[in-house]
Amino acid sequence: MERQRQPDLYLTEGLKRLVRDIRQTDPLPGHGLAGIACSSTDLISFESEGVQYCGHPVEQLTEEQSFDEVAWLLMNGSLPDGEHTADMQAIVSDSAVIDAGMAEMLERIPLGTRPLDLLPLSISLLSFFDPVPHDQCRDATRLRVWRLLAQLPVMIASGLPASGSSRRDDAEVDLNGISWAGRLLYLLRDNGAVPSPAEDAAINVVMICECLTEMRPACFAARFAASTVNHILASLQSASTLFVSQLKNDPFQWVSELLQGFSGPSSAETWWKSRENRSMPFGFGEPEADPRPAILRETCRSLLGSIDRIRIEASACRLEKIMAEQQLEPTIDWLAARAMTLLEIPSERQSLVIGMARLVGWAAQAIEQQNTGISLLPVLRYGARSEN
């Protein structure tokens, strides 16, 4: 019988190394980014007494400032004075127009397109019409963000069904005195109603509470892009694309449709019992020292005034009471969806509000990252390749 050939030495050694790697429990030094802090941020802090944006308590900001004023704070490090506010409003007002070709392009998008997918697409299209593409100084970067905030609502409205885009040109609609966030609310709703003062205040609170989060993947994408290129739009494209990709199963739409489907509190409780002890898939977590859920809860209570809103609010409260018995509290995302449902924003468009709010946070993250001069590029170590 022929003797079996022994495996080559390099195969034997390779298998031994593989077994050693599998058995190894401690990570090799210098591999990965676990536990490594590249930098710190002054944008948001989670203190024992609450949450602050650039050193300002979020409760104070939601009571005294509009969303665009908070955007100024995040991008400049201080609240705007009267002159700054006037300059900001002038930039937004003058820039709130788009090229006719872009509007026509968006109007040709298939009807089944998800509204949220318009966000990264619109940012990309607007980047081609940057009036000063080669100016990368800090002032030019901030101006770019303000122009984007002015143009994005117009762009997105052009890509929504005809009812939304036609209202945008209605000369008889008086939007004087309505904030930037309130105008966005008007464009996203499909009932043609101009926001009331309470609704205008509510959408500002929602967007202020949602504009900054802990370091989620989209935030890291904004900072990573900012550490490698000096163009703010690249950071916003990266962050928005990741954000949209993560929301393929849109949890904000799910919450809104869930709340609208309840006939009342007992219906909500019956739905919960039918889940047979399955956990809530979105919107609840361990209690934490974050005042924003409580702020949004009070905002929801300011929006009652119709039978439908009372039914939705009562159903949401019943669910939250049930979850509290399990030591679970609603997150800002759950309460933001609850507020947007009361504001009558169509469920499939609510994540657009969140994306527009987060865009300001991503821009602030990118600007801060560029100012630090710290690179987030990983260090790659290539092994020596043996020659056979």
**In the prediction, which pLDDT does 111 show?**
81
Instruction: Determine the pLDDT at residue 158.
Output: 87
Average of pLDDT values for 85-91? 88
Q: Residue 24 to residues 15, 18, 382: CA-CA distances in angstroms?
A: 14, 10, 20
Task: Please state, rounded to an integer, the average pLDDT across all residues of the chain.
Answer: 87
Q: What is the pLDDT of residues 205-261, one digit of tens each?
A: 999 999 999 888 999 999 999 988 888 999 999 999 999 999 999 999 999 999 999
Nearest of 321, 332, 269 to residue 299 by alpha carbon = 332
Q: H helices of the chain, where? A: 9-23, 58-64, 67-76, 82-95, 100-107, 118-127, 138-159, 162-167, 180-188, 197-210, 217-228, 232-246, 251-261, 265-273, 292-301, 307-324, 332-342, 350-372
Query: What whole-number distance in Å separates Cα of residue 190 and Cα of residue 305?
Result: 19
Q: Show the tokens assigned to 380.
A: 């790659």
Q: What is the structure's pLDDT at 320? A: 96
pLDDT of residue 375: 82
Which of 28-42, 216-230, 253-267, 277-291 comes out lowest in average pLDDT?
Answer: 28-42
* pLDDT given at position 1: 47
- C-alpha 356: how far from chain center: 6
Q: What angle do CA 168, 169, 173 make, to 5 degrees?
A: 80
Residue 295's nearest CA partner among 185, 180, 205 is: 205
Q: In this predicted structure, what is the pLDDT of residue 110?
A: 86
Which residue type, as a one-letter code, is found at position 71?
A: A
Task: For residue 5, name the pLDDT band (cuts at 50, 70, 90).
Answer: low
pLDDT of residue 384: 56
56: exposed, middle or buried (C-beta count within 10 Å: 0-12, 13-18, 19+)?
A: middle
What's the pLDDT at 167?
Answer: 47
Return the amino acid letter for 309: R
Whole-structure pTM value? 0.86
Give the pLDDT confidence score for residue 82 in this predicted structure: 87
CA distances from 298 to 70, 178, 337 (A): 20, 21, 14
What is the fold, at CATH topology level, of the domain defined by 44-254+338-372? Answer: Citrate Synthase; domain 1 (1.10.580)
Nearest to 293 by CA among 323, 338, 259: 338
Model confidence pLDDT, tens digit, residues 130-171: 888 888 888 999 999 999 999 999 999 888 875 444 444 555
Type of residue found at 84: H
Average pLDDT over residues 355-369: 95
Rounded distance between C-alpha atoms, residue 126 and residue 152, angstroms: 8
Confidence of residue 10 (pLDDT cuts 50, 70, 90): low
238 phi/psi in degrees, rounded to 5: -65, -50
pLDDT at position 299, please? 97
Region 70-90: mean pLDDT is 92
Q: Is the pLDDT of residue 310 over 80?
A: yes
Long-range pairs for 128-133 at CB < 8 Å and ≥24 separation? Answer: 129/98, 129/99, 129/102, 130/233
Q: Distance (Å, rounded) from C-alpha 197 to C-alpha 235?
A: 34
Paired tokens of 362: 């991503």
Size (the chain), residues: 388
pLDDT band at 273 (very low <50, low <70, confident <90, very high): very high
